[in-house]
Structure 1
Amino acid sequence: MGRPADGAAGCDARTSMDAVAIREVRNAIRGEIRGRLFTLKVLVCALITAAGCWLALQSQLSLRLCGVLLIGLMFAHAAELQHETLHGLAYRGRRANRVVGVLLGLPMLISYTAYRVAHMRHHRDLGTPGNREFFDYGDQYGAGDGGSRIGTALTWFARFTMAYHYWQFGVGVGKALRGSNFDGESAVNTRRIRVEHLLAVAALVAAAVLSVVFASPAVLWLWVLPMVVVAAPMHALIELPEHFRCETLDRSPFANTRTIKSNWLLTWYTNGNNFHVEHHLMPNLPIERLPDLHVEVRDRLRHYHPGYFAYFRSFIGSK
C-alpha cells in the first residue's frame, strides 16, 4: 500500500490536532464544573421552598397565599436548575446529575430523561423544520399570531397553564403502567423514563394518602396549587423569550435565539437562562461563564433586550 498524498497526510494531521484541541477544551470546561456551587443553589432553593411551606400551612389566608406564591416560584426555579443537570454541568459525574435532576423536576412532574433527550435534540435541530421542544406550547414560536381572538386566547391559555405538558405526563404514566415503549427512545432511556413517571405518580399518591389520613388539604396548598397556579405560568414566562418570533428556520443562534441582559436577581432566578444565545453557541459552557461569553458576542446579537421588563414591554406593544 502506497504512502498517502501529502495533502491527505496534512488533513489527517490537522484532524488529529483538532481532536486533541477539542478534547483539551472539553477537559478544561469539565474542570470548571463546581458541584459545591450547584449544591448551594439547590440548598437555597430548598430553604426558600421550606419557608413557603411554613407560610402555606398557617391559618391566615394571606400567609397561605404568600406561601403558595413562594413555593410555586421555587418550583419553576428548580426546573431551571434541572436544565443545568441536563447538560451535565451541575456535577462532573453523570449519576449525580441524573439523581439531582430527577428530584428537581419532580415538583412540576418533569421526567429528567425525557426532558434531557428532547432538549439535546432541540440543540441539534434548532434552525431546521425538525426542531421540537420538550415543553410544547402549541404556537411555539409565534408563527400563528393573527388568528381569531378566541383561538389566540385559547393558545395563550394553553401556554400559561402548560396544559399540554401535563397531558403528556398523563400519557407517559399510561405507557409506564402498561410497560409500553416511548417512541424513538432507546431501551435504556425508555426504562429510565418509565421509572421517573412512576416515581412522580408514587409521590402524588403518597401525598394524597397523607392528606386523607390526616384530614388535611396540605397537598393542595403545598403542591397542586403552587404547581398549577404559579409554577406553570412562571415557567412559561421564563421560556417565552428564548426563541419567540426569532428566525427559527435559520441555523445561526444569533438569528434563532434571544438574549436578555437582566439584573442579578432574575439572572439567579432563571439560572442564566437569559443568556440564551450564548447557551446555544456553547451548550457545554458552565452557566457561570455565560456572562463572559456575552461580553465577547454582544455586538453580534440580533435579538437582544436590556431586561425582562424591556422585553415584555416591547412584546405587549407589538401585539
Structure 2
Amino acid sequence: MSVTQFTEQELKDLEEKTTIPRFLFLPLGLVGLWCLAVYWPSNAIGWQAFWTLFTSYCLFCWTSCFHECSHHTLSGSKNASIWLGRVLGTAMFVPYTIYRESHIRHHAYLNKPSDWELWPYSDPNTSLRFRRVFIWFDLVLGLFMAPYIYGRIFWHKDSPLKDPKLRKTIRYEYMAMVLFWGSVIGVCAYYDAIWGLLRVWFLPHYLAGIYQNTRKFTEHLGMSSYDPMLGTRTVVGSNIITRLCTYFNFDIFVHGPHHRHPRIAHNLLLQKMDDYQEQNPDVKYPVFTSYWGAIIDMAPSFIFKPGVGMNAGAPAPAKEKKQIDNFVQDVAKEVLADQDHVSKPT
C-alpha cells in the first residue's frame, strides 16, 4: 500500500492544525446508536425518528473522516489514518485500501475515463440511458452501490492495481470485513436480534449512504472541465448551518482546492480558495454560498444528463504529464496536461 509523502511544510501544517473538536461526530454517533438500541427516552416514533436521523448524519460525517484517512491528512500520524481508516472501511463495507487507491486516481484523473470513482458518469462507453437509470440506484441504494463502484478497481479485468503485495492487502481487508460482519450477523441471528441490527445500524447507515452520494453528485455531476478548480463545485458557506456542516466534514465541501491540492491540511482550504479567486479574477469558479445552491445547479444534470467530463460535453482529455499511484502536491502542475489546465498556480 502506498503511503502519502508530504513536504516538510505540509507535515508541519498537519501537525499544527486542531482536529479534535471535529471528532465530536464520533462519540455523538455512538450515543445515537445507544439511544436507538435501548429506545431512550422512549420507543415513541418521534424519538426513534429523531435518533435515526441524528445518527445517520453522524455516520455521514464518519464517511468524511474515512475520506480524510485515505489522504493520510487526518493528523500528523499516518498510522492513525491507516488503522482508523481500516476500522471505518470495515464498518462501511468498503476496504480501506480499495478506497484509497480509487481516490488517488479520482484526484489525478478527475472527470476522465480513468476516474474509477466516478464510474459510470466518467465513462464515455456507458450510454445515457444506462446512466439515467443507474443514477437512481446509486442514490437510493448508496449503501450497496458504493462497495460495488469502489470494488471495480480491484475486480475489473482492466484493473490498474497490479502489485501482488497491494492486491494481497486488499484481499486481507475483504476477508476481515466478511469475518467481522459474518460474526455480527451470526451473533444477532443466534440471539434473535436481526431486527435490532437493521433498526440500529443498517437504517442510519442506509440514510448516510444517500447523504454521501448526494454530496458526490453535487460536487461532480455535470462538470465537464478536467481542471480540478473548474471541474468540481465548491461550497463556501455564508450561513451558520453550512459552516458547521463544513467544519464537521473536514472542509471537504471546499472541493476545488481539495481536488487540486490533495495533500493540503483541510483547515487551509478556505484560504486557498480565496487565493485562487484573488489571483485569477478573470476565472469564474463554480463556488456557491450554500449547499442548496450547489444542489440546484447540479439538479438538471442529475435528471437529464448524468455525466462528467466527456459525458458532460467535454472533448477527450489530453495525455497526462505522468501516470501516478499516489497523491501529489498539485494535480494541475504535476499531472494535468497543459491544454486541460485553466487556473494559474498560487
TM-score with structure 2 setting the length: 0.71
Q: Is 1:84 aligned to 2:65, yes or no?
A: no
Residues 163-211 of structure 1: CA distance to partner in whole angstroms, max 9, x if unpaired? 43244678899x8xxxxxx762422221221222222222222222332
Alignment of 1:35-46 (within 5 A): 37-42=18-23, 44-46=24-26
Shift in Å, 1:53: 1.1
8 Å contact from structure 1 (residues 254, 301) kept in 2: no
| 1:240-279 equivalent positions in 2, closer than 5 A | 240-248=217-225, 250=226, 252-262=227-237, 263-279=242-258
Aligned to 1:206: 183
**Alpha-carbon distance in structure 1 between the residues aligned to 2:19 and 2:169:** 23
CA RMSD of aligned residues (A): 3.4
Q: How far apart in 2 are the matches of 1:142 and 1:40?
A: 42
Q: 2: CA distance between counterparts of 1:122 and 1:224?
A: 28
| Residue 289 (structure 1) aligned with residue 273 (structure 2) | no
Q: Distance in 1 between matches of 2:256 and 2:167?
A: 31
Which residue, out of 125, 139, 149, partners 2:121? 139
Give how far 1:99 is off.
0.2
1:132-281 equivalences in 2 (<5 Å): 132-133=116-117, 136=119, 138-139=120-121, 147=129, 152=132, 154-162=134-142, 163-167=144-148, 184-216=161-193, 217-228=195-206, 230-248=207-225, 250=226, 252-262=227-237, 263-281=242-260
Q: Structure 2 CA distance, aligned partners of 1:307 and 1:113?
A: 32
What is the distance in 1 between the residues matched to 2:177 and 2:149? 13
| Other-structure match for 2:59 | 75
- State which of 289, 296, 308 in structure 2 corresponds to 1:313: 296
> Which letter maps to 2:121?
D
1:13 paired residue number: none
> Alpha carbons of 1:141 and 1:79: their partners in 2 closer, same or farther (altered >3 Å)?
farther
- Structure 1: where are the runs of 5+ without partners? 1-22, 176-181
- The question of whether the paired residues in 2 share the 8 Å contact of 1:80 and 1:273 is answered with yes
Regions of 4+ moved over 4 Å? 140-148, 168-173
Q: For 1:254, what is the secondary structure of its paired residue?
A: coil
2:44 counterpart of 1:65: no
C-alpha separation in 1, matches of 2:181 and 2:16: 29
Provide Cα deviations, 1:297-316, integer angstroms capped at 9, x if missing partner: 13444312111011223334
Q: State the AA in 1 paired with 2:132.
A: T
Contact 1:30 1:92 in 2 (8 A): yes
The two structures have a TM-score, normalised by structure 1, of: 0.76
Distance 1:185 1:76, change over 3 A: farther
1:114 aligns with 2:98: yes
Return the alpha-carbon distance in structure 1 between the equivalents of residues 55 and 125 of structure 2.
Answer: 33
CA distance in 2, matches of 1:192, 1:76: 26
Q: Gaps spanning 5+ residues in structure 2: where? A: 304-346
CA distance in 2, matches of 1:146, 1:35: 47
Report the alpha carbon displacement of residue 62 of structure 1 after superposing the two structures with TM. 2.9
- How much has 1:154 moved relative to structure 2? 4.9
Give the drift of 1:89: 0.8
Alignment correspondent of 1:50 = 30
Q: Contact 1:34/1:91 (CA < 8 Å) preserved in 2?
A: yes
Number of aligned residue pairs:
283
Q: Relative contact order, CA 8 A, sep 6+: which one is greater?
A: 2
Paired residues of 1:257 and 1:277 also in contact (CA < 8 A):
yes
Structure with higher helix content: 1
Which residue in the other structure is 1:11 paired with?
none
Shift of 1:144: 8.3
Query: SS at the partner of 1:33?
Result: helix
Q: Looking at CA atoms only, which structure, 1 or 2, has the larger radius of gyration?
A: 1
CA pair 245-219 structure 1, distance change in 2 beyond 3 A: same
